[in-house]
Amino acid sequence: HKLDDYAKAAKILGVDVAHEGDDKSIIFPRQGIVAFEPVVMRNFDSLQGAGAVARKWHDFDADGCFVDNTGGFGAGWLDQLRVLNRDPVGIHFAGKASDPRYFNKRAEMLFLACQWVKDGGALPNIPELLEEMTSTTYFFNKDALQVEDKDQIKQKIGRSPDYFDALGLTFAHPVHTALRDALGSRRAHSSERRQHDPFSRGRLLGRR
């Protein structure tokens, strides 16, 4: 994609916080139709993790940041970011979706991420991310779309789908974006809207 295709879009960070020792914490940056190379961390405590997020927030000039707070694992990261004068938003994957078609927030975010790819969104070259996206399936639960649990995916591919969850977090909510010029410099503020449709197939993202 050319810079003109996304330069004026919101810059968003999705932060997946490791829940276990062998899982990765990932900071995924996305601007409009382009997702960029993520920052990957292992065995970071909340102070180290928040510091890494704050640095990326500054370097990327992000308009918003969503941090996984499922089970409270990200609470320390959120607290430390606020100490650093940042305003992150904690997201509970099991929380209520904004759209009632989805069983929970995680299903909504991952569906939005996959629809974004189908609509032309550009991913960095990360084989693990592609495997996580193509291995994840969904089903209907009380007429709502639900994505299989992390543990189920981990059993299939041998690791937690940390990349996919971090990317999904960039779709947690619409973000108020700084109006940017053709080079991405800040100007003023407006809002960004996203539209999406549910999938008709059981696999979130089919292999090409």
Find where tokens 């299989």 sit. Answer: 148
* CA 138, chain centre distance (Å): 18
Q: Tell me if 16 sits within 8 A of 25, measured CB to CB.
A: yes
The contacts found for 69-78 with CB under 8 angstroms, 24 or more apart, are 69/17, 70/19, 70/94, 71/19, 73/17, 73/18, 73/19, 74/15, 74/17, 75/46, 76/45, 76/46, 76/47, 76/49, 76/50, 77/15, 77/17, 77/46, 77/49, 77/50, 77/53
- When pLDDT is cut at 50, 70 and 90, the band that residue 171 belongs to is very high
Per-residue pLDDT, averaged over 136-152, amounts to: 94
Rounded percentage of the chain residues whose pLDDT exceeds 90: 75
- Whole-angstrom distance between the N-terminal and C-terminal Cα of the chain? 19
Query: What are the tens digits of pLDDT across the range 89-130?
Result: 999 999 999 999 999 999 999 999 999 999 999 999 999 999
Give pLDDT, residue 201: 42
Per-residue pLDDT, averaged over 68-92, amounts to: 95
Task: State yes or no: pLDDT of 56 exceeds 90.
Answer: yes
> What pTM does this model have?
0.86
